[in-house]
């Protein structure tokens, strides 16, 4: 095996060095790649590089000879079940972009005990695609629309749109209690913290700005189906903002209320009731790309049971 050198092109520019290595050194575990960076065995323009360094046009990356062990090479590919789930979940695809209705319980990428996620599965489904990268993320337990770029230039364009709040993102969430009438805007900065080895978020002035707008769609006894629009995309944003206003997402085992979650298991809430239902992306031709994803059957079944319960109690639910 020999040392390799890569000259970064305009299409490759803007990505982190660790992401480049994960693609170039296929089969090498993430832990080993980060160890190569820490030891300085990977060089950028002759010097050491931090894993978060974003590559620029013309950068020269030195890749050391790395032998993949039999154990690493034998790591199984994504299973047929995951691949079938992802193939069925694709709702839009063109030459630069892919959108899917991510099933709940599927991580967006491997790691932290998860061998394969959406991105690894899509790369197995589209082996001819030279580039597939997540545009944004969804929590593992959240279902709904997820964007994957098929070109680095498209990824940069979409990241710029997201930063400038030009992408409309809509979610549906079942919240505890009765949400007030009209839009309920929440502007509360969010900061990360560690609890029992788990990364969580909390409202804190020292955090990053975050804005969500909640609006009641349908009311039930003890719960409100709400549409949520977010202007920022912080980790766990909707879940923390919902708790902050006293209406946690039902089924949320991190930020929700245990007794409320327990009560709503009677109508079939077995997981986080949060779904990314809509995305609107601007396009150069002036016609926005509108994407939608219907509620998964398990969440739709919950709403049906809640409506039946309302009728049994002689109370008409209202749409607002």
User: How many CB atoms sit inside 10 A of residue 42's CB?
Assistant: 24
Per the DSSP assignment, residues forming a β-bridge with 202 are 191
Mean pLDDT of 115-124: 87
Helix or strand holding residue 33 (H, E): helix 30-38
The lowest-confidence range among 104-108, 111-115, 216-220 is 111-115
CA distance 210 to 244: 12
CA distance 221 to 145: 29
Scan for tokens 């409320």, then name that residue. 260
Q: Say if CB 152 and CB 131 are below 8 A apart.
A: yes
Exposure letters 245-254 (e unless 16+ CB within 10 A, then b): bebbbbbbeb
CA distance 52 to 19: 9
Instruction: Decide if pLDDT at 44 tops 80.
Output: yes
Which 3 state secondary structure label does DSSP give 176? strand
CA distance 308 to 320: 19
Instruction: Decide if pLDDT at 320 tops 60.
Output: no
Q: What's CA 161's distance to the chain center, in Å?
A: 17
User: How many CB atoms sit inside 10 A of residue 125's CB?
Assistant: 17
Mean pLDDT of 114-141: 88
Instruction: Decide if pLDDT at 276 tops 50.
Output: yes
Q: Is 279 exposed, middle or buried (0-12, 13-18, 19+ CB in 10 A)?
A: buried
The lowest-confidence range among 79-83, 146-150, 246-250, 257-261 is 79-83
Instruction: Decide if pLDDT at 230 tops 80.
Output: yes
Give the residue from 145, 85, 134 showing the smallest Cα distance to 111.
Answer: 134
Q: What's the confidence (pLDDT) of residue 303?
A: 98
Active site includes 231? no
Average pLDDT, the chain: 90
Mean pLDDT of 3-8: 92
Instruction: Decide if pLDDT at 319 tops 80.
Output: no
| 70 pLDDT tier (thresholds 50, 70, 90) | very low
pLDDT digits over 174-189, tens only? Answer: 999 999 989 999 999 9
Mean pLDDT of 38-62: 92
* Domains defined for the chain, CATH in brackets: 4-73 (3.10.290.10), 78-164 (3.30.2350.10), 166-320 (3.30.2350.10)
DSSP labels for 179-235?
PPSS-EEEE--EEEEEETTEEEEEE-TTSB--EEEEEEEEEETTEEEEEEEESS--T
CA distance 192 to 196: 13
| 139 pLDDT tier (thresholds 50, 70, 90) | very high
| 74 pLDDT tier (thresholds 50, 70, 90) | very low
| 317 pLDDT tier (thresholds 50, 70, 90) | very low
Q: Say if CB 172 and CB 217 are below 8 A apart.
A: yes
Residues 6+ apart with CB under 8 A from 65: 1, 2, 3
Mean pLDDT of 123-142: 90
Q: What's the confidence (pLDDT) of residue 13?
A: 85
Instruction: Decide if pLDDT at 39 tops 70.
Output: yes
Which is catalytic among the residues 139, 141, 285, 298?
139
pTM greater than 0.85: no
What the block records as the tokens of 304 is 């049906």
Main-chain phi, psi angles of 208, to 5 degrees: -90, 145
Q: 45 to each of 56, 114, 120, 152, 320, how far by Cα in Å?
A: 11, 34, 30, 22, 59
């Amino acid at each position: 095996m020999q040392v390799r050198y890569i000259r970064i092109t305009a299409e490759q520019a803007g990505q982190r060095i660790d992401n480049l290595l994960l693609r170039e050194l296929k089969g090498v575990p993430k832990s080993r790649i980060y160890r190569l960076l820490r030891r300085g065995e990977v060089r950028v323009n002759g010097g050491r590089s931090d894993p978060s360094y974003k590559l620029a046009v013309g950068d020269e990356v030195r890749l050391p000879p790395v032998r993949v062990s039999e154990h690493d090479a034998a790591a199984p590919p994504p299973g047929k079940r995951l691949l079938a789930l992802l193939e069925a979940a694709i709702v839009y695809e063109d030459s630069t972009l892919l959108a899917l209705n991510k099933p709940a319980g599927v991580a967006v990428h491997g790691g932290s005990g998860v061998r394969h996620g959406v991105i690894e599965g899509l790369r197995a489904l589209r082996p001819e695609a030279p580039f597939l990268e997540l545009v944004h993320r969804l929590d593992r337990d959240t279902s709904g629309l997820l964007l994957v770029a098929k070109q680095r230039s498209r990824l940069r364009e979409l990241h710029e749109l997201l930063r400038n709040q030009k992408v409309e993102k809509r979610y549906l969430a079942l919240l505890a209690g009765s949400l007030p009438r009209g839009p309920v805007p929440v502007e509360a900065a969010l900061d990360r913290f560690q609890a029992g080895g788990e990364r969580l978020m909390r409202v804190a002035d020292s955090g990053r700005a975050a804005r969500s707008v909640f609006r009641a769609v349908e009311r039930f006894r003890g719960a409100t189906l709400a549409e949520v629009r977010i202007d920022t995309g912080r980790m766990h944003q909707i879940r923390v903002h919902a708790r902050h206003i006293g209406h946690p997402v039902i089924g949320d085992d991190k930020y929700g209320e245990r007794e409320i979650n327990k009560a709503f298991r009677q109508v079939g809430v077995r997981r986080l009731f949060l779904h990314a239902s809509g995305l609107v992306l601007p396009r150069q031709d002036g016609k926005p790309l509108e994407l939608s994803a219907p509620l998964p059957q398990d969440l739709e079944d919950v709403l049906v049971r809640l409506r039946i319960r309302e009728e049994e109690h002689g109370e008409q639910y209202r749409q607002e």
